[in-house]
Amino acid sequence: MSEQRTSRESSLRYTIVANPAAGNGKTLNALDELQYYLNESHLKYELVFTHSPMEAAEIASNKSQQGSDVIVAFGGDGTINEVANGLVGGEAPLGIIPCGSGNDFSKSTGIPKDISAAVDILGNHAVKSIDVGKIEDRYFVNGMGIGFDALVNYRATQMQMLKGKTSYVASIVSSLFQYQSIEMEVEFNGTVKTGKTYLVALGNGFSVGGGFRLTPDAVLDDACFDVCHVAEVKKRTIIRHFSKLLDGRVGAVEQVTLSKSPDLTITSDEHLPIHIDGEVFRMDATEVNVKIVPSALPVIGNWGDTSSTA
């Protein structure tokens, strides 16, 4: 740890927004390591902790307006989502030090879980403007799920003893034998699908649930969502094709439709569970209207390695 580290952007001012509860306390435990590498890289930073939902969005907005050059989310996908909501449409880029449970969005930005490497990427300051999704007054950067996917995310967040992909798999198993497909009308890319639907996933990034790939071809700057629509499907079919959720072959399943669309609308007489970026958004929606907002958020990433499985 005695190697001298330098930053090409050492004059920039960074605000590190940290959620001490992210990853079941993983962020708080990694704080000393983060500060060591920030200091070794000679980055000028201020560390700010969050204490309540959506506080990170307010901090990000205020700090960027007060002159902070980069607003960094130190935590999981939920923290990244909140910080991004405070930066959409502005000039200050989002920086990421992934330290949550799933770390799905960081996979699409090429940022590994290794804090030293993530700080190096932060200092390299390679900025790209990415698309974001919008539902009601809320933005999301990685993905959105309706139906079974959302229920699984909800249950995964309740599993305090399990993390990342392990909690997601356990939640799939616990939900599989209770969840029933929902009657809904889904409209995207000029197509209307009416009938019982198992799930709808929208991907801006390609990974959900700590490494599952429901939208394996999604990219962050093509002005479209990747849409995964799964019609009513038998439980034994899900079990038989489970590996395809992990390796990106989900489109080979008969009940699955993959498409691209800049927007999506869903209506239903039943309550629809929804997650955005792995966090519960609604559990009782009957109407969903979501759209892509192109090139709305500048993000620092490792853009030559966005196929990373880190």
Q: What is the pLDDT of residues 197-225, one digit of tens each?
A: 999 999 999 999 888 899 999 999 999 99
pLDDT at position 307: 61
Mean pLDDT of 250-258: 97
Q: Taking Cα atoms as reference points, which of 262, 241, 268, 265 lies closest to residue 253? A: 241
Instruction: Judge whether residue 1 has pLDDT over 90.
Output: no
Confidence of residue 164 (pLDDT cuts 50, 70, 90): low
pLDDT at position 58: 98
Yes or no: domain 13-125 corresponds to CATH 3.40.50.10330? yes
Whether residue 255 contacts residue 198, with contact meaning beta carbons closer than 8 Å, is answered with yes
Q: Taking Cα atoms as reference points, which of 106, 284, 285, 96 lies closest to residue 208? A: 106
Q: Where are the domains of the chain?
A: 13-125, 140-293
| Fold of the domain spanning 140-293 | Tumour Suppressor Smad4 (2.60.200)
User: Matching CATH topology for 13-125 and 140-293?
Assistant: no
- Pairing state of beta strands 70-75 and 94-98? parallel
Instruction: Judge whether residue 72 has pLDDT over 50.
Output: yes
Mean pLDDT of 116-130: 98
Mean pLDDT computed over every residue of the chain: 92
Instruction: Judge whether residue 133 has pLDDT over 90.
Output: yes
**Bigger pLDDT: 16 vs 10:** 16
Instruction: Judge whether residue 81 has pLDDT over 80.
Output: yes
Q: What are phi and psi of 47, to 5 degrees?
A: -105, 125
Instruction: Judge whether residue 4 has pLDDT over 70.
Output: no
